[in-house]
């Protein structure tokens, strides 16, 4: 039976990506070698990384003056690398979840950290608004999609200081005005590639403003100058990322993805509203994520939580258990998830409701 893959990350990738990567593991680009055993300096791999960087720029419409870096270490390493390279005295952070909190904690080792607003007291179930950002901060850090709690900032903020965004779980899900950001980073394992790859989109003129010594591997300049080849980059995930980017381009780019994501999330949120068993954990409709849809059972039906999970599991749906800090359910609807999987989930919710007296 074909599985419906709702995992939050690592997560579903296009069949195109999985098939081409599997093929390259056996025979990469007709070399007679596996992608697993080829030099990252070979001309065949250089072609892969170059095309991946240029497609990344093309699909996101990245303007001049920006670089796309492919690094290791995950988004979690960026939590430190950002302040290491950018924080002189003070940085501002919007606390919208566990990942944002971790980013803040890392920054505290490099200077003063101002939390401009936080939704922590209500389990991060909304995106704070109306906060003010200190104009003397070196940058403002946001997490555009809060993977665990299911909230999302979809507008590109207009602010007067450099904007840094963790877009681990909504990169390529919609068009982004990259010119509004100094840095966009993320782990690739949510919407782009298998685990092991970290992407960083960086405006070069943001660098060179801190005095401290930055170790070579933590210095963005190293990777800009080295074309992400200062050391061995994650070869296989970069190959897979290229396949996802090709697939995305074929399927209407980020505008096409956005259209499909709105349709998929719309279908599921609508059923959550209609179905007497369930409710969304995010009261404000505008704050609801299109990527990670979090919902719980209404109080009076709480006893049916486990049976519902068993019910959908039996129908080939995986990854629907909510994060332990929220409970309930989380359906991750990344780019590669077909609408048929959402329809199957909605149908299961309706069938389960009918089975309850
Ligand atoms: C998954 C995730 C992370 C952590 O990424 P790693 O690559 O595992 O370090 C950080 N931020 C967000 C928003 C995430 O979804």
DSSP secondary structure string for all residues of 236-287: HHHHHHHHHHHHHHHTTHHHHHHHHHHHHHHHHHHHHHH-TTEEES--SGGG
Which residue puts its alpha carbon closest to atom 2 of ligand 1?
168
In angstroms, the first-to-last Cα distance of the chain is: 30
At residue 2, φ and ψ (nearest 5 deg) are: -70, 130
Q: What is the pLDDT of residues 314-340, one digit of tens each?
A: 999 999 999 998 999 999 999 999 999
The widest CA-to-CA distance across the chain, in whole angstroms, is 67
What is the DSSP-derived secondary structure letter of residue 132? -
Question: Hey, which residues does 321 pair with through a beta bridge?
Answer: 329
* Catalytic positions: 99, 166, 190
Among 187, 199, 319, 325, say which to mutate for ligand 1: greatest number of ligand atoms within 8 Å of CB: 187
* Residues 6 or more apart whose Cβ sits within 8 Å of residue 257: 172, 173, 174, 248, 251, 335
Q: What is the pLDDT of residues 105-133, one digit of tens each?
A: 999 999 999 999 999 999 999 999 999 99
**123 CA distance to ligand 1 centroid (A)?**
18
- The yes-or-no verdict on residue 1 having pLDDT over 90 is no
Would the CA dihedral through 145, 151, 156, 161 be positive or negative? negative
Among 173, 186, 241, 294, say which to mutate for ligand 1: greatest number of ligand atoms within 8 Å of CB: 186
**77 CA distance to ligand 1 centroid (A)?**
10
Q: Which CATH class is domain 4-11+253-355?
A: alpha beta
Q: Which atom of ligand 1 is nearest to the CA of 97?
A: 13
Q: What is the pLDDT of residues 222-263, one digit of tens each?
A: 999 999 999 999 999 999 999 999 999 999 999 999 999 999
**169 CA distance to ligand 1 centroid (A)?**
7
CATH topology of domain 15-250: 3.40.640
- The yes-or-no verdict on residue 154 having pLDDT over 80 is yes
Q: Which atom of ligand 1 is nearest to the CA of 74?
A: 7
Which residue puts its alpha carbon closest to atom 3 of ligand 1?
75
Q: What are the pocket residues of ligand 1 if the criterion is a CB atom closer than 6 Å to any ligand atom? A: 9, 74-76, 99, 143, 147, 166, 168-169, 187, 190
For a pLDDT cut of 90, what percent of the chain falls above it? 99
Residue with tokens 């093929």: 23
Alpha carbon 82 to its chain centroid, in Å, reads 17
The answer to whether the predicted template modeling score (pTM) of the entire model surpasses 0.95 is yes
Q: What is the pLDDT of residues 39-76, one digit of tens each?
A: 999 999 999 999 999 999 999 999 999 999 999 999 99
List Cα–Cα distances, 120 to 101, 117, 279, 324, in angstroms: 9, 9, 20, 16
* Residues 6 or more apart whose Cβ sits within 8 Å of residue 235: 35, 36, 38, 40, 45
Domain boundaries, the chain: 4-11+253-355, 15-250
Model confidence band, residue 313 (pLDDT cutoffs 50, 70, 90)? very high
Which residue puts its alpha carbon closest to atom 13 of ligand 1?
168
Q: Which atom of ligand 1 is nearest to the CA of 145?
A: 13
Give residue 139's pLDDT: 98
Which residue puts its alpha carbon closest to atom 7 of ligand 1?
74
Give residue 2's pLDDT: 81
**Average of pLDDT values for 192-210?**
97
**72 CA distance to ligand 1 centroid (A)?**
13
- The yes-or-no verdict on residue 24 having pLDDT over 90 is yes
Which residue puts its alpha carbon closest to atom 14 of ligand 1?
168
Give residue 178's pLDDT: 98
* Residues 6 or more apart whose Cβ sits within 8 Å of residue 354: none
Alpha carbon 288 to its chain centroid, in Å, reads 15
Which residue puts its alpha carbon closest to atom 8 of ligand 1?
74
Q: Which atom of ligand 1 is nearest to the CA of 9?
A: 1
Give residue 357's pLDDT: 78
At residue 216, φ and ψ (nearest 5 deg) are: -45, -50
Residue 333: exposure state from Cβ atoms within 10 A (0-12, 13-18, ≥19): buried
């Amino acid at each position: 039976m074909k599985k419906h893959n709702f995992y939050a990350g690592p997560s579903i990738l296009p069949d195109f990506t999985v098939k081409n990567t599997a093929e390259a593991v056996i025979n990469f680009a007709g070399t007679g070698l596996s992608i697993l055993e080829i030099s990252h300096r070979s001309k065949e791999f250089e072609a892969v990384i170059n095309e991946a960087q240029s497609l990344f720029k093309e699909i996101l419409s990245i303007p001049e003056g920006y670089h796309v870096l492919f690094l290791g270490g995950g988004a979690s390493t960026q939590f430190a690398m950002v302040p290491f390279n950018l924080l002189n005295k003070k940085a501002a952070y919007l606390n919208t979840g566990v990942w944002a909190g971790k980013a803040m904690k890392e920054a505290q080792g490099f200077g003063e950290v101002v939390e401009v607003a936080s939704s922590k007291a209500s389990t991060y179930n909304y995106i704070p608004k109306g906060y003010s950002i200190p104009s003397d901060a070196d940058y403002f850090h946001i997490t555009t999609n809060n993977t665990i709690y299911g909230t999302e900032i979809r507008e590109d903020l207009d602010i007067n200081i450099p904007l840094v965004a963790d877009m681990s779980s909504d990169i390529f899900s919609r068009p982004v005005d990259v010119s509004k950001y100094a840095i966009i980073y993320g782990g690739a394992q949510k919407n782009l590639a298998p685990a092991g790859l970290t992407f960083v989109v960086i405006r070069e003129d943001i660098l060179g403003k801190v005095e401290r010594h930055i170790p070579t591997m933590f210095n963005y300049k190293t990777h800009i100058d080295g074309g992400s080849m200062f050391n061995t980059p994650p070869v296989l995930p970069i190959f897979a990322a290229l396949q996802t980017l090709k697939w995305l381009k074929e399927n209407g780019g980020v505008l096409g993805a956005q259209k499909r994501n709105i349709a998929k999330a719309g279908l599921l949120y609508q059923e959550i509203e209609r179905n007497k068993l369930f409710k969304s954990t995010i009261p404000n409709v505008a704050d609801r994520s299109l990527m990670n849809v979090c919902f719980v059972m209404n109080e009076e039906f709480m006893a049916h939580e486990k049976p519902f999970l068993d019910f959908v599991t039996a129908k080939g749906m995986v990854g629907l258990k909510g994060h332990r800090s929220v409970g309930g359910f989380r359906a991750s609807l990344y780019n590669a998830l077909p609408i048929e999987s959402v329809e199957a989930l909605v149908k299961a919710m309706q069938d389960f409701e009918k089975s309850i007296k």
